[in-house]
Structure 1
Amino acid sequence: MQRQYVCPKCGGTQYDSDQFQATGGNFAKIFNVQNKRFITITCTQCGYTELYRSQTSTGMNVLDFLLS
């Protein structure tokens, strides 16, 4: 079941979705391990953006560490 998006700021119904990763904690900052992942939903009418935390796998965190 898919829900229709409605912007809480302007009431717009069109959006763009993207994702980004960030570091969290001192160990992750020292070794530049991006172990936090977020999904963004941005209203195309007014630009209001919501962030949602996404799960990261241990395997991807190890791979990110090895490639840094």
Structure 2
Amino acid sequence: MSEKGCIKCGSQDAGEKEVAMTGTGLSKLFDVQHNQFIVVYCKNCGYSEFYNKESSASSNLLDLFFG
């Protein structure tokens, strides 16, 4: 059985961060950051995947990232 890891470099060293971003229209104009995401990233090569914070359970995100 092969080991799982980053799809770009194979590393198994990952981290996660929470980020907020503006949307379009008035939220962009007034810099209202109502879109929240969890970013799972490879600490070796920097490959990143964004997950919607409202629909994701952060405890399972590393499993999704590593397949």
Q: Give the TM-score, by structure 1 length.
A: 0.63
C-alpha deviation, 1:54, in angstroms: 1.5
Share of identical aligned residues, percent? Answer: 35
Q: Give the TM-score, by structure 2 length.
A: 0.64
Alpha-carbon displacement from aligned partner over 1:9-48 (angstroms, at most 9, x marks no partner)? 1111111110110111212123321110111111112111
List, as ranges, runs of 4+ consecutive aligned residues in structure 1 with deviation greater than 6 Å.
Answer: none
Q: Which has the higher contact order (CA 8 A, sep 6+)?
A: 2
Unmatched segments (≥5 aa) in structure 2: 55-67
Which has the greater radius of gyration? 1
Counterpart Cα distance in 1 of 2:43 and 2:30: 36
Mapped pair 1:7 → 2:15: no
Taking the TM superposition and a 5 Å limit, the aligned residue runs for 1:45-60 are 45-55=44-54
Unmatched segments (≥5 aa) in structure 1: 56-68
